């Protein structure tokens, strides 16, 4: 892996110390990074650079532990210089939530490091030599973790590409919303729904217990209402798809399981139209869609599973209308439902079973996150690199979507 933090030795200046670290050069570089952050409207970069300058000044005036802390000052300077390059060369960097989150974390951690170094610098005795050494080691390790993150696959390119992927996702969401706005009730078609219906990804680790729990609830209850709740990108849709693909679920519902991408069904009218299309119900001119849906369930005795994905969209836009439809669907004894949505509670008056032991789906474990990263990147040897990859995954909070984008 190329190391973008490598630097050619610079000629000694009159204010350089024997280590070769040039204090004035470091302050100038950090001031430039702060200016780039300010000009780009990225306050966390500006703040991180300003804190870094204060750290340089603290280390510069140290009487004890100076030599040990110089590497911290040098690494922080190199780190901020690289991040500045990312901001200058990348496109849509402010839309890159992962990058912005890491810069924000860096600003916070630099503040903590500054506080610790101030305490060390103010020591009047040598009684704290051992504890100070541990603190300095911890600070070095923290900065090294950030260097690993921003060094991954030539930092500028990976963060730029990730930003473009995230921007592409936002564009896709806008396109989906456009479909919902521009189609009237009679124009939402089966093909519209099918085009944005995902398939279960073969890269799926660490969710086996959740899938088994969901399958058990669906299979062992004549009527089941399962809520898969959590933050965006946590893997709710993937879990729902893998539950639906389980052999026991296929045995119970056969071909009568229907997936509705509710991000393009933002109100009760469009949700009703989506149900009509998915269930293949024919509605003649002048006929009531509500009555046709009721007749379908009244005369169809087979168990039916409805998967309502991204359900926060219609629920947030039209809660009263959606509550009415949910109540009707739940009143038909042969219907079961899975909803995936952001939030901590299932929607409406339905008695939902929340998947998992917590109120929402948790992030992946470090081990499962490593499996996902390696499988998507296509390089199984990455699992053997240990701490460097784990540092990256930890800073991504082990969120599946974030790991997918980086991998």
Our CA angle for 309, 214, 219, nearest 5°, is 110
Res 1: pLDDT: 47
State how far the Cα of 355 lies from the Cα of 351, in Å rounded to an integer. 13
Q: Determine the pLDDT at residue 215.
A: 96
Residues 339 and 369 in one domain: no
Distance CA 376, CA 391 (A): 18
Judge if 106 and 203 occupy the same domain.
no
Q: What pLDDT, on a 0 to 100 scale, did the predictor assign at position 209?
A: 94
Q: Which residue has the tokens 């951690």?
A: 109
At residue 118, the pLDDT reads: 92
The answer to whether residue 8 sits within a structural domain is no
User: Residue 333: which domain range?
Assistant: 185-354
Q: Check whether residue 216 and residue 128 sit in a common domain.
A: no
On whether both 251 and 400 belong to a single domain, the answer is no
Residue 1 lies inside a defined structural domain of this protein: no
Question: Would you say residue 95 lies in a domain?
Answer: yes
Predicted confidence at residue 18, as pLDDT, reads: 38
pLDDT values of the chain reduced to their tens digit, one per residue, 407 residues: 445 455 444 444 434 333 457 888 888 889 888 888 887 888 999 999 999 999 999 999 888 888 889 989 989 998 888 888 777 666 566 767 777 888 899 999 999 999 999 988 887 766 566 788 889 999 998 888 887 777 543 344 455 555 555 555 555 555 555 555 544 444 688 888 988 899 998 999 999 999 999 999 999 999 999 999 988 888 999 999 999 999 999 999 999 999 999 988 999 999 999 999 999 999 888 899 999 999 999 888 899 999 999 999 999 889 999 999 999 999 999 999 999 998 888 898 899 999 987 778 989 998 998 888 888 887 665 555 556 677 778 877 888 888 887 77
Residues 384 and 240 in one domain: no
149, part of any domain: yes
Nearest Cα to Cα of residue 353 among 176, 221, 180, 217: 217
pTM of model > 0.75: no
pLDDT of the residue at 156:
44
Q: Are residues 155 and 210 in the same domain?
A: no
Give the per-residue pLDDT at 82: 80
Predicted local confidence at residue 12, as pLDDT = 41
Count the domains in the chain. 3
Query: Are residues 119 and 226 both part of a single domain?
Result: no
Please report the pLDDT score of residue 64 as a whole number.
80
Please check whether residue 16 lies inside any domain of the structure: no
Q: At what angle do helices 129-151 and 66-89 cross, to 10 degrees?
A: 20
In a domain, 177, yes or no: no
Return the CATH number at 337.
Answer: 3.40.50.300
Give the end of a domain, one of 318, 333, 354: 354
pLDDT value at residue 50: 94
Does residue 112 fall inside a structural domain? yes
Residues 372, 341 share a domain: no
* Domain co-membership, 233 together with 322: yes
Residue 19: predicted pLDDT: 45
User: Does 136 lie in the same domain as 204?
Assistant: no
Q: Which of 327, 354, 381 is the last residue of a domain?
A: 354
User: What does the pLDDT read at residue 66?
Assistant: 85
User: Tokens at residue 288, please?
Assistant: 């009531």
Let me know whether 324 and 385 are in one domain. Answer: no
**Is 179 inside a domain boundary?**
no
Instruction: Using alpha carbons only, give the angle 265, 212, 215 rounded to the nearest 5 degrees.
Output: 50
Q: Are 93 and 41 in contact (CB under 8 A)?
A: no
In a shared domain, residues 199 and 338: yes
Distance CA 360, CA 341 (A): 10
């Amino acid at each position: 892996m190329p190391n973008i933090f490598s630097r050619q030795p610079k000629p000694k200046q009159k204010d350089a110390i024997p280590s070769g670290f040039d204090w004035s050069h470091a302050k100038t570089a950090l001031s430039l990074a702060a200016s780039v952050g300010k000009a780009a409207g990225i306050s966390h970069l500006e703040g991180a650079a300003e804190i870094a300058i204060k750290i340089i000044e603290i280390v510069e005036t140290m009487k004890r532990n100076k030599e040990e802390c110089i590497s911290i000052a040098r690494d922080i300077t190199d780190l901020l210089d690289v991040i500045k390059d990312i901001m200058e060369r990348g496109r849509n960097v402010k839309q890159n939530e992962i990058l912005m989150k890491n810069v924000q974390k860096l600003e916070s951690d630099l503040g903590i490091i500054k506080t610790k170094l101030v305490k060390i610098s103010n020591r009047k005795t040598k009684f704290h030599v051992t504890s100070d050494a541990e603190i300095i080691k911890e600070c070095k390790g923290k900065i090294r973790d950030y260097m690993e993150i921003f060094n991954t696959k030539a930092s500028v390119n990976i963060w730029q590409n990730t930003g473009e992927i995230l921007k592409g996702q936002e564009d896709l969401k806008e396109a989906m919303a456009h479909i919902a706005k521009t189609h009237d009730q009679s124009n939402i078609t089966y093909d519209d729904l099918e085009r944005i219906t995902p398939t279960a990804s073969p890269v799926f680790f660490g969710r086996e217990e959740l899938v088994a729990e969901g399958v058990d609830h669906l299979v062992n209850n004549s009527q089941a209402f399962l809520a898969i709740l959590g933050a965006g990108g946590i893997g709710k849709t993937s879990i729902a798809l893998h539950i639906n693909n389980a052999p026991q679920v296929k045995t119970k519902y056969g071909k009568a399981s229907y997936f509705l991408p509710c991000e393009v069904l933002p109100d009760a009218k469009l949700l009703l139209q989506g149900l009509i299309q998915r269930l293949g119900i024919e509605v003649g001119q002048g006929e009531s869609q509500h009555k046709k849906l009721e007749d379908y369930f009244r005369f169809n005795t087979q168990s039916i599973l409805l998967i309502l994905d991204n359900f926060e969209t219609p629920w947030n836009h039209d809660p009263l209308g959606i509550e009415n439809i949910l109540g009707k669907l739940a009143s038909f004894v042969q219907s079961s439902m899975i909803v995936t949505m952001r939030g901590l509670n299932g929607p409406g008056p339905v008695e939902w079973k929340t998947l998992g032991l917590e109120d929402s789906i948790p992030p992946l474990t470090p081990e499962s996150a490593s499996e996902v990263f390696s499988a998507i990147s296509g390089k199984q040897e990455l699992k053997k690199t240990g701490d460097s990859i784990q540092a990256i995954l930890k800073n991504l909070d082990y969120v599946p979507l974030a790991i997918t984008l980086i991998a």
